[in-house]
Structure 1
Amino acid sequence: MQFIGLAVFVTVIAVLVLTLGVRILLRGNWFLAWFRGSLGIVIVLVAALGAAVAYDLSTYQQNLPSETLVRISISKSVDKRFELSVTRQARTESYVVEGDLWRLDVRELGWQGLAEAIGLQPGYRLDRVKTIFSDNTRQPIARYAQAKLEQSWFDIDLWLWAYQNRKTVALLAPKSIKSNYYPLLDGASFEARLTEKGIVVLATNDVAERAVRTKK
């Protein structure tokens, strides 16, 4: 709810800024028309950016330890590739990958400084399933090396911006959380949970259990 509330707050600000920009653009007095027009356009663009940031914030959620983040079922595809059926929040999507090992990456959008002091809690967003070959001499084709689980609107990515500028950003504390690698095996299914120790991946059928035992 915290991130939904933050998204709603940013959306309200964006709407107010948009209203101001439109009013400036529609005024009939052409004194300083060029300045007003330019200022109005800038304000509208700022409002659009605010809306994109609000959407990006809404894709994060506070984690509950008992919740399953995602369920992943693996089946063979064509050309020695695999199809991942990824289920989250009663929604299932399919991705084609190649390799023989996979891992789950999760983004943590944390807070520091004043934001942490007022009690804001970190939020989490599924990032991707990354695949590799255990044989280091081989690499998956870029198109099939990862399954992006969540996309940002118009590539306005608050986490990525904060991560790239983490030495200078005062309020945000982005972090990438990665699971261990697990076998890509036809018929295997897993589920992942987020705990204080990181991502815990559990085998949910015999095929996955045998694969994990073999890897160990």
Structure 2
Amino acid sequence: MYSAIAALAALLGLLVAYSAAKLLWKDSWVLGWLRGMFGLALLALAVVFVFIAMDIFSYRQIQSEHNVATLSFDKKADQVFNVLVVDAQGVEHNYIIKGDQWQLDARIIKWTGALANVGIKPGYRLDRLSGRYYSLEKEREEERTVYSFNESPAGIDVWAWLREVKEQLPIVDAVYGSATYLPMADDAVFEISLSVAGLVARPLNEEARAAVGDWQ
């Protein structure tokens, strides 16, 4: 669904670009300056549509609760961990996280009303991975580690725009989903699942279960 929406936005961009090219290259320049300015404006609009398509294409449809990422922890030093993140497409990311706990965040686009009734599912995009310290003093003084998974192209952020206009556009809602902060431990492996209710983190091995048990 989100690939189709992105393709539609890209198609609109191409149509606008084609119209702009025809206008700019037309032989009759009676209103040349106005035509040229309008054509350039259409080209700029076409570029915006392309960036919108690229941003929407980074979202995945939520069918039901399913795994969106697996996190594996390798302790490098006291309160320093290498974190291997493998997303639902099998793409691997490595990050150095400092602190005692980790959290994964996602951006979620929810459709409401008639669009939800016809079966359009919410979409998600993994947003960022962060760490934090148990100690409030360290939380204030030590270096914080936060990593972004996806950057919107050229500042075109559809999710942020939807949050700003949610009062004027009640058919769609842009929300933030976060897994609860969980402890980091050497060799621990966690699975992150996502449903329409949000993110859920589960320990997958004994090291992860022991870390959660000690923390609780």
Q: What's 1:96 paired with?
A: 96
SS in 2 for 1:68: strand
Q: Deviations over 1:3-47 (max 9, x none)?
A: 111111111111111100111111232222111111111111111
Q: Deviations over 1:96-142 (max 9, x none)?
A: 22221111111111123554455422111111112211222233789
Q: What's 2:192 paired with?
A: 192
Q: What's 2:35 paired with?
A: 36
Aligned residues: 215
Amino acid at match of 1:76: K
Structure 1 alignment gaps of length 5 or more: none
Aligned pairs (5 A) from 1:42-53: 42-53=41-52
Give how far 1:164 is off: 3.2
Query: Does 1:138 find its partner at 2:156?
Result: no
Cα separation, 2, equivalents of 1:172 and 1:136:
38
Is contact 1:63-1:123 (8 Å) kept?
yes
- Closer, same or farther in 2 for the Cα pair 1:11/1:90, shift >3 Å? same
Query: Does 1:147 find its partner at 2:144?
Result: no
Is contact 1:98-1:140 (8 Å) kept?
no
Q: What's 2:210 paired with?
A: 210
Give how far 1:192 is off: 0.7
Give how far 1:174 is off: 0.5
Cα separation, 1, equivalents of 2:90 and 2:32:
52
- Closer, same or farther in 2 for the Cα pair 1:35/1:118, shift >3 Å? farther
Cα separation, 2, equivalents of 1:108 and 1:211:
29
Is contact 1:133-1:140 (8 Å) kept?
no
SS in 1 for 2:102: strand
Aligned pairs (5 A) from 1:9-24: 9-24=8-23
Query: Does 1:180 find its partner at 2:184?
Result: no
- Closer, same or farther in 2 for the Cα pair 1:119/1:206, shift >3 Å? closer
Amino acid at match of 2:203: A
Q: TM-score, length-normalised on structure 1?
A: 0.89
Amino acid at match of 2:66: E
Q: Deviations over 1:122-165 (max 9, x none)?
A: 11111111221122223378985312122222221100121233
Cα separation, 2, equivalents of 1:199 and 1:162:
20
Cα separation, 1, equivalents of 2:139 and 2:129:
15
Amino acid at match of 2:69: V
Task: Give 4+ residue runs of structure 1 displaced > 6 Å after superposition.
Answer: 140-143
Q: What's 1:87 paired with?
A: 86
SS in 2 for 1:42: helix
Cα separation, 2, equivalents of 1:69 and 1:41:
41
Amino acid at match of 1:169: L
Structure 2 alignment gaps of length 5 or more: none
Is contact 1:96-1:147 (8 Å) kept?
no
Moved more, 17-26 or 56-65: 56-65
Moved more, 193-202 or 101-110: 193-202
Q: TM-score, length-normalised on structure 2?
A: 0.89
Cα separation, 2, equivalents of 1:72 and 1:96:
12
Give how far 1:190 is off: 0.7
Amino acid at match of 1:30: W
Query: Does 1:64 find its partner at 2:76?
Result: no
Cα separation, 2, equivalents of 1:170 and 1:37:
37
Amino acid at match of 2:212: V
Cα separation, 1, equivalents of 2:172 and 2:78:
43
